[in-house]
Each structure stands twice: as C-alpha cells, then as structure tokens.
Amino acid sequence: MVSLASMEPLLPESNRDLEDLAIELTSAASRFAARLHPIMRASVGDLVRSMNCYYSNLIEGHNTLPIDIDRAMAGDFAQEPEKRNLQLEARAHIEVQQLIDSGEMPFPVLSLEGICWLHGEFCRRLPDDLLIVRNPDTGEEIKMVPGRLRTRHVKVGEHIAPEPDMIEPLLKRFVEGYSLKMLSKLQKIISVGASHHRLTWIHPFFDGNGRVSRLFSHALLRDLGIGSELWSVSRGLARNESDYKRLLSQADQPRRGDLDGRGNLTQAGLSEFTAFFLSCCLDQVAFMEELLKPEELLNRIEIWCSEEVQMQRLPKGSWPLLREAVLSGEFSRSQVQALTGYQERQARTVLSSLLNCGVLTSASAKGKVRLGFPIDIIERWLPRLYPAVR
C-alpha cells in the first residue's frame, strides 16, 4: 500500500558534486543567454522547440522526422493516418512549449493545476486515436481525458505505479516538498532533476507522462532562470536514452540498506539520476553555446551563401543581408539598398529571394526582417543539431 512516505526522499542528500553541477549550469546558462540578441533568441527558440519535440518524441519511440514536424507547423499533413497523427502530436508538443516560453502558463509550474494543465493542453490537441490507451495484458481500451488523473492501476516496466486514490495526495506532497521557501537556489536547481524522477514515479496520467515530465522540467528550469528557449534537455536525454531509462528505473528501487538514506526509496539512486539529469542540461547548454557563437555561425552561413550564389540559387548581394540578420537580430526593409549597395529594384530582388527560400523571415509584407532556419539548411548552419540520418 502506497503512502505519502513511499515517495521519500524528495531531494538527494547535499553533496559537493551535485552543488558543483548546479553552480556550473547556472553560470553557463546565464553566459549563453546574455550572448545572443533578443530577436535572434526568438528565431533560435522556434527551431529549438521543434528540436525538443523531435527528441522528446524519439524517447517515446515516435520517430517523427524533422521535415515532417516542419510541415506540420505549416499545416501540411500527410494523408497516411499514422503519419498524420504523429505530425499532430509533434505540433501539440511545440504549441504547449510555446505557451510555456511566452509566459502563458496560467498556473504555477509547481502546482497540481499546473501539472494537469500541461497534460490537458498537450492531449486536447491530439487526434482521438492517440487518446486511446490499450491494456497490454487484457486488450481493454480506455479513452484518456486530457488533464484528468488516471483512475486505474498501471504497471510501467517493473514499476507498479501508485494506486489511483493516492495520486492527488502524492502530487500535493510533491508540490509542497519542491516549493519549500527554505530551499536555497542551488537546492532548487538540484531539485529539478529529482522532481523529474518523482513525477514519472507517480505516473499521474494514463499516458503522456514522459512528455509531461519533460515539459514540466523545461518550465521549472525557466522558472528558476536557468532554462530558456535556447536549449533543450530532451536532446541530451535522447542521446543517452539507455542511461536515462536505466537510471529512472534504478531510482524507483527501495532503499538499499542503512547507509542509503532514511526514506522509502533509494537515496543513492535519486542522487545518481539527478547528477545525470543536470549533466545532460549542462552538456546541452555547452553544445548550443558553441553552435551559436556568432563568429562560427557567421562563417558557416557565409560558406553556404557563397556556394548558393556560385550555383546561381541565390543572387549576389545575399550575404550582407544574412550577416546583418545575425549581428543585429533584425533590420528594416529600408536598409536593404544600403546593405547590398544595389539600386532599389535589384535590392528588393535579393531580399525576395532570401524570403522565398526561408533563410530570412518577416511577420508582414512590410515588417522588419530576421533570420530564418528552414529545415533543409539546418545541417549546414547548425551541424549535429539532429542525427545525421533523418
């Protein structure tokens, strides 16, 4: 029988390794966030949300290709029902993260309402086929209600999730434990990894718990001023998927003996998972920071642009506009003549070519212009963002 004490401990014991990881993550995330122009951040954010969705789905065994995610965001869906459903699932994930990133989450992240909101917003965007949960043992089908806590017993791998009538009390204890005002900033950062495990352990919904946990962690990192639209822990978790799932499972285990804390679950297992989670965060901040160094990004874009001009796929004069978008974040259309050195008609032709192929974007026909990241050039501009084979 599960009790509130069954989930303890909520936090790893204080240790220097975890604190060092939290300090390093805070420093790296702050440095990275300050480096990019705010407009450039918005452009990168659109791309990273798509990447986050791709890797989060990959962890769930849904390999929705980046090009199909890109098409879904443009409203271009496949005729094949299964592929279309996965595109709708991808778009749902991205739209919920957009709400988080724009500050439109109506409840605190650490609240029962906030956790249910994440599940509800994600699932209500899904097609009916993806709301059907099938019992692998009996074949029984259950229609999942978005945002509603599960009402049946479930087993996930070797983990027997808490019985339904304990889910709400456990979530309230979860919120209380991770919201304590006495926690230091370092403890709160460390708690993101620990809470990620404990939320998956509770398994509050029939399905979608993995995605909700990753969206929850993203939102909590943002709340703490660490996370941003510029990087995604899901990429790190997916690239180390076997360790991610193994360490999640290990942290489900009971206490290993008298030297393994004083709670019901293993303290050592929780510490190991938390260290892994924070290391993935730090690795992804470092990866994206290196990838988006202005001088390196400019060099890659210039080489690409030079090749496109040489192949006559882009007009001469394209590079100064792309460079300005990287350095200034955005520019007005009235600057195009000065930037290219061309007369008005020729300058407009250059701009139109770049807008048509998506490497520059604008919110309106006369609005300012900023850098775009069409999926077909991502590997050239931002290598290794996605796996080599797509």
Work out the mean pLDDT of the chain and round it to a whole number.
Answer: 94
- If asked whether residues 251 and 312 sit together in one domain, one would say no
- For the chain, the domain total comes to 2
Longest dimension (CA), the chain: 80
Percentage of the chain surpassing pLDDT 70? 99
- If asked whether residues 319 and 273 sit together in one domain, one would say no
CB within 8 Å of 280: residues ≥ 6 apart: 233, 236, 237, 240, 244
The answer to the question of residue 390 being in a domain is: no
The answer to the question of residue 271 being in a domain is: yes
**What's the token pair of residue 17?**
């390794």
- If asked whether residues 71 and 103 sit together in one domain, one would say yes
Instruction: Point out the annotated binding site for ATP.
Output: 156-159, 207-214
- If asked whether residues 225 and 325 sit together in one domain, one would say no
Instruction: Point out the annotated binding site.
Output: 156-159, 207-214
The answer to the question of residue 3 being in a domain is: no
Per residue in 272-299, pLDDT (tens digit) is 999 999 999 999 999 999 999 989 999 9
The answer to the question of residue 183 being in a domain is: yes
Among residues 239, 267, 292, the one where a domain terminates is 292
SS3 of 157, please?
coil
Please list the helix, strand and coil fractions of the chain in percent, rounded to the nearest 5, in that order: 60, 5, 35
Among 133-147, 271-285, 302-316, the range scoring the smallest mean pLDDT is 133-147
Among residues 259, 292, 325, the one where a domain terminates is 292
For residue 9, pLDDT beyond 90? yes
- If asked whether residues 286 and 301 sit together in one domain, one would say no
Q: Which residue has the higher pLDDT, 257 or 117?
A: 117
Among 115-124, 181-190, 253-262, 289-298, the range scoring the smallest mean pLDDT is 253-262
- If asked whether residues 126 and 151 sit together in one domain, one would say yes
Please give the average per-residue pLDDT across 234-246, as a whole number: 96
CATH code of the domain in which 170 resides: 1.10.3290.10
Q: Note down the domain range covering 240.
A: 16-292
The answer to the question of residue 6 being in a domain is: no
Q: How far apart are CA 111 and CA 212, in angstroms?
A: 13
- If asked whether residues 281 and 372 sit together in one domain, one would say no
Residue pair 80/71 in contact (Cβ under 8 Å)? The answer is no
- If asked whether residues 319 and 262 sit together in one domain, one would say no
Half-sphere CA count of 243, side-chain side, radius 13 A? 13
pTM above 0.75, yes or no: yes
For residue 182, pLDDT beyond 90? no
- If asked whether residues 90 and 205 sit together in one domain, one would say yes
Please give the average per-residue pLDDT across 189-212, as a whole number: 97
- If asked whether residues 350 and 209 sit together in one domain, one would say no
Please give the average per-residue pLDDT across 218-223, as a whole number: 97
The answer to the question of residue 387 being in a domain is: no
Per residue in 87-105, pLDDT (tens digit) is 999 999 999 999 999 999 9
Among residues 246, 272, 292, the one where a domain terminates is 292
Report the pLDDT value the prediction gives residue 388, as an integer from 0 to 100: 66
Q: Which residues are marked as active site?
A: 203
DSSP assignment of 176-232 equals HHHS-TTS-HHHHHHHHHHHHHHHHHH--SSS-HHHHHHHHHHHHHHHTTS--TT--
- If asked whether residues 302 and 188 sit together in one domain, one would say no
